[in-house]
Structure 1
Amino acid sequence: MCIQLDQPVEMPPQPMKAKEGVIFKEEEIEERIMEVEPYIPQFVNKTRPLQIIPEHEMEKYEKFRKQNFEHFQRLQGNYFNILEGLELHTNVFTSSEQDEIVKRVFLEREIGCAGRLGRRTYSELRKWKRGKGRVTIQYYCCYNFARDKEGNPLGIIHHNEVDPLPSFIKRIIKQLVTWRILPADCILSSCIVNIYEARDCIPLYVDHHDFTRPFCTVSFINKCNIMFGIEIQIIGDGEFRGSVEILFLVGSVLILKGNVADVAKHCIPGVSYMRVSITLRRMNEDKVTFWFKPDLEIENLQPFEL
């Protein structure tokens, strides 16, 4: 069961002004300087020529929508928008594209179950309690969610080799870059696939700075809620209380950067039905694994002239 909002926050009594494409969660306030040290990612500085969008791609592009969000909370005596940098892009993948991607995900799961993926590529947690036990498949880098039995700390494990990006993941990246959902100067180079059963969740966290911003996640099979807040309370197995929840629709893409990626925590409460998420991130230049080699098939992508 998801609880969507925390206690109301005191806000300055100023009128709210509607802005096109923006959802307001609190009253608009005057701009204040945040007392938070900014994180400056390392981007690949390349000038990219544009390509003309084909007619069949334009038909799909015209159906997709972008949404931004605002929700103000107090931090260190100031109010600021914790959802700054959050973008929801809907109708990005058609039903047939979703079906093909999900088919490939479950094929990869079968290969992993048979022991034919790298040792740290495929993992399936034992379901020892409600909310714990989702299947995880990692490509191009092994990310440690906590210090492991071998003494490796939280973050990217540099010496562990995992499988490279499969072709269907590259096609997802290509679509996101050519449609300008993601910037061409920050091609995402690693991937983690999560397969959820009913009641599985992702506990609250902030994505590690071993990865640059922006990063993104794509939703398949069933929708879910994703919760954000400066502080998120655990109220039970797979149950949390945060500040605001966003409905994450199937076939849609969630982009995270700015405050929502660096200041606000986020989590996914226990899901009602099976679902799949694919999260794409770029390793920081000084955090890449020892054996990593840039994939020129995606590093040289050109966005459409829209």
Structure 2
Amino acid sequence: MYGIGGMTDKEGKFCLHCNELLKDHKAGKYFEIETIVSNETLSQVCERLDMSTEGIKLLNRMLKSPDAFERMFDTSEGEFQELLAEENQTRLQNYLQDPELIMEMGTKIPVIRLIEMDRCSGEAACCSFHAFIRTTNMIIGCLQEKAAQMRKVATVNFQLQEQGVNVQFTEKSHSRKLNGEQCDRFVKKASVVINTLYSDPAYADDRERWIGVMEEWDLLSTMLKCQELDKLENLDFQIGLTLPVRLRTLMLNIIDLVGDPSLMQSFYFHSLLVGHIGQQFYDRLVQYGIPLGLLNINILEDLRICKSNQR
């Protein structure tokens, strides 16, 4: 797999699984515009693109910010303005209220890019354990940035120590490299950090959203890492079937809360957002009855060592 994906990719592409260019990824071009060209309801569009109406509603709000156009992929300024036009927005609001309405041709809808896996998709399953660690470290880094901006690093560290979480924020901006156990403890106790950072009533909405994000990440990442089918069923098999949509909505919420695309540059965040990991989880679960967690790199490495020792 050497020379495929990342900074050393021979074709200037970022991902192991798709043709995303490194330059587009660095620019944070996560979104695109879907134009309705056939008789479809919003529910059908959501099903086709692994999105939720909640996600479309949130994205539509996000795209009204001044720098929103910079995050659009392969979209002209003219098309972007058509999306924001009053007539289009009125129609879109109607469809968000009743997703079963047949939409008018030409309606513009903002969506998260759903990128097909057409590079090494069969050979390289995403390691859900590493996805959990890297994404959690990214979230910790974002919250650390916020703590530094608000001059609450010392207060956050005290609260973490009180809860027995071996994680310390710093004033300096840098990527975190916590291990799986540290990440797991942090996710379980993340509300302590969030309540400390957003204690002001003026931040009540952000506080509730962050708590919801961390609770959802705790649930979905647990399902991603799960290695036994019966345990997955105990967690809630039906949630597993909706996991691709929920992951994309969750990553969108993180983008909105963090606001700075430069803090979200990892391969795993990309894979969660554009649908790679959700698709791999769903396909292996539905087609083969295999939890994605069973294909984690550390599990496969342990099996390889065991087989070597048996020879």
TM bin (shorter chain): under 0.3
RCO (CA 8 Å, sep 6+): is it higher in 1 or 2? Answer: 1
More strand by share: 1
* Higher share in helix: 2
TM-score (norm 1): 0.28
Which of the pair has more CA radius of gyration? 2
**TM, length-normalised to structure 2:** 0.28
